[in-house]
Amino acid sequence: MAKDHVNGPEDYEALIEEVLEAYPDKAKKRRAKHLTVSKATDEAPDATTGIASKCDTQKSNIKSIPGVMTVRGCAYAGSKGVVWGPVKDMVHISHGPVGCGQYSWSQRRNYYIGKTGVDSFVTMQFTTDFQEKDIVFGGDKKLEKTIDEINELFPLANGTTIQSECPIGLIGDDIEAVARKKKKETGKTVVPVRCEGFRGVSQSLGHHIANDAVRDWVFEAEESEAVKAYEPGPYDVNVIGDYNIGGDAWASRILLEEMGLNVVGNWSGDATLAEIERAPKAKLNLIHCYRSMNYICRYMEEKHGIGWMEYNFFGPTQIAASLRAIAKNFDETIQENAEKVIAKYQPLVDEVIAKFRPRLEGKSVMLYVGGLRPRHVVTAYDDLGMVIAGTGYEFAHNDDYKRTGHYVKEGTLIYDDVTGYELEKFIEKIRPDLVGSGIKEKYPVQKMGIPFRQMHSWDYSGPYHGYDGFAIFARDMDLAINNPVWGMYDAPWDTPAIAAE
Amino acid sequence: MPQSADKVLDHAPLFQQPEYKEMLENKKVKFECGHPDEMVKEIGDWTKSWEYREKNLAREALTVNPAKACQPLGAVFASAGYEKTMSFVHGSQGCVAYYRSHLSRHFKEPASAVSSSMTEDAAVFGGLNNMVDGLANTKALYDPKMIAVSTTCMAEVIGDDLNSFILQAKEKGSVEADFNVPYAHTPAFVGSHVDGYDNMQKGILQNFWEKAERTPNESINIIPGFDGFAVANNREIKRMLDEMGVEYTFLSDVSDVYDTPSDGEFRMYDGGTTLEAAAAALNAKATVSMQEYCSPKTLEYAASKGQEVAALHYPMGVQATDEFLMKISELTGKAIPETLKKERGRLVDALADSQAHLHGKTYAIYGDPDFVYAMARFVMEMGGEPVHCLATNGSKKWAAKMEELLATSPFGKQGKVWAGKDLWHMRSLMATEPVDMLIGNSYGKYLERDTGTPLIRLMFPIFDRHHHHRFPTWGYQGALTTLVKILDTVFDKLDQDTIIPGETDYSFDLTR
C-alpha cells in the first residue's frame, strides 16, 4: 500500500491496516476494534433510504487510549454543555475550578429569546471558581453561598443546576444535601448533577447523568404551579434532543405547528424549566438526538405511558418521511396537514435542489461528529447528490451503529472515537471533497486543501433543521466546496510535484 | 414562506420573519411560563442601579463571567512555542478538548495536545498506567522531539506525582531515558492561565538547565508570556532586536505554529524555540520577561542560575516600548538605532495628529494583569482616562502597582482598580459610571450590548473577529495598530451618531 490515494471502498480495509501500523502493539490491538468498513447484510433495506448495511461490528463506548489525541470531551461537557446548559431560565453553576465553564461559555450556539442576565442566562458563565482552600476544606459552604447570591442578584432565575467538575466527586462534597436544603429554603428547583469529567468514557455518560437528574430532581419533585395550571390536549408533543443550535429547533417547531401539533416542551434548546416539568403530560415524545436523550424518553414511557419515536429533520427526503411518520400517531386531520406542509414546501425544496445539486453532485464527504449527526445528516447530503465516503462517532453506543446501517451503504469507512492521527491519515488518503467535523479538526483539514464545515456548531451558520434549514445547509456546502481559495494553494512558479507511483 | 434558494436567509434575518416572530410569541405566551414583561423590565433596570452595584460588589462566593482561564491552558500555550513539542496533559480528557478548541477558535489554527484520558479507575488507583501507555502512544503517533507534561485538576486532587510517574514510564520503556519530558504541576484551582504558563516555562527550562553548567555569554533570553497577539508580537520584538543587533533566544515562540501557511500540508509542529537553543539559553547574560505576571517563578529560576533578570508589563505604547528598548540596551550595551527612534517619532506624530479625538476619552479596560497595566498606561499617553481597570486574575500586588501607575498622571485621577473582580462586576461599574469605550476580549461584547459601550478587542481570546492577532500591538509599530483600532472606534461612533438624514447629518463631516 504505497499508493498516495486510495481508489475507493475496495482499498479501505488495507487503509485501516496501514494506519494501524503506526501504533505500539497494545494500542494497535485496541484501536483495531474501532475501525471497520460497513458490510453487506441480509436485513431488509430501510423504507425511506432504501439502504441496509452492517455497521455495528466494531466496539464503541469504551475508554479512549491515553496519549492518542482523542477528540472526545467529558461528562461535564455532556451535561452542562449539551443537556442542561440550554435551559434558559435557570442558572447553571459550573461547580469547581474556572476552566470548564470558561471554555464552554457561549460555544454551543443554543439560541434563545430572553433578556440575558435578567430572565435568561444561557450565554453567561457562573462558577464557584474553586481555590485551593475549597479543595482542602470542601466546597459545600461556598456552593450554598453561591446559590444564595444567585437568588439575590438574579431574582427571576427559576432555578439552578449544579454542574459538577472533576474535583467535586473526588473531595467528597455532598451537593445533594446542599440542593435539598436550598430547595427547602427558597422553594426554587435546585438540581445537583454528578457529571464530573472523569466519569465514564466520553460526553455520553454526562448526557445520561443529566437525564437522570431531570428524572430525580424535576419529575420526582412535587408538581409545580406550571404543571398544575396546564391542561393537556390531544395534539401535545415534546421535541426531545433538539438544542436549537443556530435556531434548529425553531425551524423544526414551525413545521410541527403547521401540522397542528402543540409543542409543549422543546428539550432543551430555548427551553424553560416549565417546558421540562410539563413534558410528562404530552401525548408523544419526538426524539431528534437519540443518543443524548433517549434515557428520559424511556423513563417517561415506563412511568407516564408516553410513546416516543425518532425522527430526522435533515434534508427534504427525511423531513417528509418524518412528518408522515409523526402524523401517523394522530388523527386524519393531522395526517392531511402533514401532506399539506410537505406540499407547501415542495417548491422550495425543488428550487434548492435545482440550484445546488448540479454544483455538488458526486462530491464525496467524510464526517466525524457526535450524537445523531454521523448518520442523520447523511440523507441531507444524499438529497444533494453527495456521497459519504466515511463517517464516525465520538461517543456512540452499539445502538447508534446499528441505526447507521440504515443510512450508509456497504463499503463506507467507519471510525469510532477516531484519533487525530487516524483521521488525518484517512483524510489524506481518501481526499474527500468535503469534511464535516469540529473546530479541532477544521484547521488541520483546511491546511491540507480540503473544504471543511464544522458540523457541531454549523460553523456559526444554521439552522440546518427543517425546510428553511435545508436551504442554508445546501448553500453552506456549496460555498465551502466551490470557493476559489482551494485553487490558490500552489504557488504558480512551482511546478506541481508529480507523485511517484 | 420566507426562505428561498435565490436569496437564502441566514439565522438573523430568518427568525425576524413574521411567521417566526408569531411562532416565538406564541411559544412564550402558551408554553414558557415566564415572568411578566413589566417585571423583566423592572428587574432589568434594577440590575443597572447603584443599589445593585453594591450588592454585586459584595459577592463572596459566586463568580459570573470571569476574565481568566485555568492553568493548563497556559501550559499548553507555553509548550507549543518549543520545537516539535507535544503537550501531554495528565488527567481527564475533556479538558484537553477544551484547551484545543479555545486556542483554535482564537488563532483560527490547529492546536494539538494529547490527554492521558484518566477515568474512574485512575481516580482510585492513580494515573501511572495512563502515563506509561500515553507517553509511548504519543511518541509513536506524533513523533515529537519533546513531550511537555502538565496536569488537569483531577490529577492534582488525587495527588499524582509527575516526576515519579515520568521516571517510571521511562524505566518501562515508554520513551527513551534521555528523551525530553519536562513537566509542571498546573492545578486549575490555583491562579490562572498566566501561572500555568509560568510553571510550564520553568519546568521546560529546568529540564534543560538543571544538570548543565553555565558558561555566560552576551545573549539575552526573551519570555513573551501568554499573549493572544503572540504571532505578530513575537515577530515584532524579533525585528526590533535584529535592528539593534542583539543576540537573543525566545523562550517559547508560538509565532510559527499558530500561523502556518495553507499550502496543502498540515504542520502539526512548526518553528518554535529549538531544544538546543533552550538548553543553550542557560548561558545567556539575562532573561527579560515581556510580562511580569506570566513569569515570576521562571525569572526567579533564571536568576538562581546567575542570570540578570528583568520584567516588563506588555511593551505596548510609547513609554512601555521605550523601557523595553532601554532595558535591552542597558543589558547588551547595544545602542538603540536611529531607525527605531524614527519609528518612535512616527508613532508620536500619529498621536499628535489625532490628539483632539483622544483627549479626555474615558475607558473601561479588562484582561490579564500585564495587559491592563500597559493599556491603561497607553490610554493615558493619549490623554485618555482609564476609569475602570479590572483583572480577574490580578492580585493585590498588581492592584497596588496599578494604583501607583494611575497616580503618575492627571489622566489617572478617576481611575479605579478592580483585582479579582469579574465581568458581571464590570457591568455594574459601566452601568453606574459609564465610559466612552471598553477594551477587552470577545466576551466584552455582552457588556457592549448591555451598556451600549463600543468594544475594542485587544485581549485574548478574540473569537468573533478574524486575524487581528496577525498584526502586532507591541513596539512602536504595534502601538500604531492599537491606536488605529481606538480611533476607528471613535470615528465610527461619531458617524453612527450623525447618520440620520435631515436630522443629525449636519455633523456627518467628510473630514474629521
Residues of B in contact with A65 (CB under 8 A): 117, 133, 137
Question: Does A143 reach chain B within 8 Å, measured CB to CB?
Answer: yes
Cis peptide before A463 (omega within 30 of 0): yes
- When scoring B266, B426, B460 by the number of chain A Cβ atoms within 10 A, the one with the most, hence best to mutate, is B266
Confidence (pLDDT) at A496: 58
- State mean pLDDT over B443-469: 98
Long-range contacts of B14-22 (CB under 8 A, 24+ apart): B14/A247, B14/A251, B14/A463, B14/A468, B14/A472, B15/A111, B15/A247, B15/A250, B19/A254, B20/A250, B20/A254
Only one residue has cell 461612533, namely B493
Interval B285-342: pLDDT, tens: 999 999 999 999 999 999 999 999 999 999 999 999 999 999 999 999 999 999 999 9
CA distance A215 to chain B (A): 20
| Residue B95 to residue A197, Cβ atoms within 8 A | yes
Query: How many CB contacts within 8 angstroms connect chain A with chain B?
Result: 352
**Tell me, what's the pLDDT at B210?**
96
B154, A166: Cβ pair inside 8 Å?
A: yes
Min Cα separation A264/chain B (Å): 6
Active-site annotation of B, residues: 153, 157
What's residue A494's pLDDT?
86
Please tell me the distance from the alpha carbon of residue A294 to that of residue A287, in angstroms, as a whole number.
7
For B214, what's the count of Cα atoms within 13 Å in the CB-facing half-sphere? Answer: 21
Cα separation, A166 vs B96, whole angstroms: 14
Binned average pLDDT, 10 residues per bin, chain A of 501 residues: 73 97 98 97 94 93 98 98 98 98 98 98 98 98 98 98 98 98 97 98 98 98 94 97 98 98 98 98 97 98 98 98 98 98 98 98 98 96 98 97 96 98 98 98 98 98 98 98 97 70 43
- Cross-chain CB nearest to A103 (options B23, B24, B101): B101
Residue of B nearest to A108 (CA): B101
**Between β-strands A413-416 and A35-37, what pairing exists: parallel, antiparallel or unpaired?**
antiparallel
CB neighbours (10 Å) of residue A172? Answer: 8
User: Would you call the peptide bond into A53 cis, given omega within 30 degrees of 0 as the criterion?
Assistant: no
Confidence of residue B405 (pLDDT cuts 50, 70, 90): very high
Q: A157-207: per-residue pLDDT in tens?
A: 999 999 999 999 999 999 999 999 999 999 999 999 999 999 999 999 999
Q: Tell me what the pLDDT averaged over chain B comes to.
A: 98
ipTM field: 0.98
Is residue A87 within 8 Å of residue A267, measured between CB atoms?
no
Which residue in A105, A133, A468 has the most chain B C-beta atoms within 10 A of its own C-beta, making it the best mutation to test that interface? A468
What residues of B are in contact with residue A171 (Cβ under 8 Å)? 157
The beta-carbon neighbor of A272 closest among B23, B32, B142 is B32
Query: Which of B189, B459, B462 has the highest number of chain A CBs within 10 A, making it the mutation to test binding with A?
Result: B189
For the packed helices B230-244 and B338-358, what is the interaxial angle rounded to 10 degrees? 140
Q: Does the N-terminal peptide bond of residue A496 adopt cis geometry, omega within 30 degrees of 0?
A: no
- Crossing angle of helices A466-481 and A248-258, in 10° steps, is 140
Cell representation of residue B275? 531544544
The closest CB to that of A117, out of B26, B47, B72, belongs to B47
Nearest by CB: B153 against A75, A89, A167: A167
Catalytic residue positions of A, numbered: 74, 77, 108, 207
| Residue whose grid cell is 485551593 | A132
| DSSP-derived 3-state class of residue B357 | helix
pLDDT average, residue stretch B19-36:
98
**If you search the block for the grid coordinates 399539506, which residue do you land on?**
A340
3-state secondary structure of A195: coil
Q: What H or E segment, with its residue span, contains residue A242?
A: strand A236-242
Average pLDDT of the residues of chain A: 96
**pTM for this predicted structure:** 0.98
Q: pLDDT, tens digit, for every residue of B190-230? A: 999 999 999 999 999 999 999 999 999 999 999 999 999 99
Write out pLDDT tens, residues A306-365.
999 999 999 999 999 999 999 999 999 999 999 999 999 999 999 999 999 999 999 999
| Distance, CA of A5 to CA of A2 (rounded, Å) | 9
CB of A479 within 8 Å of any CB in chain B? no
The alpha carbon of residue B173 is apart from the nearest alpha carbon of chain A, in Å, by 12
Rounded average pLDDT over B463-485: 97
Work out the minimum CA distance from A291 to partner chain B, whole angstroms.
18
> What's the confidence (pLDDT) of residue A3?
54
Helix, strand, coil share of chain A (percent; to 5): 45, 15, 40
Instruction: Kindly list the residues from chain A whose CB atom is less than 8 angstroms away from the CB atom of residue B76.
Output: none
User: DSSP secondary-structure letter at A39?
Assistant: B
The answer, for A97 touching chain B at a CB cutoff of 8 Å, is yes
Distance of CA B470 to the CA centre of its chain: 14
Task: Please report the sign of the dihedral spanned by the C-alpha atoms of residue A24, residue A30, residue A34, residue A39.
Answer: positive
**What pLDDT sits at residue A5?**
82
Query: Nearest C-alpha of chain B: how many angstroms from A450?
Result: 8
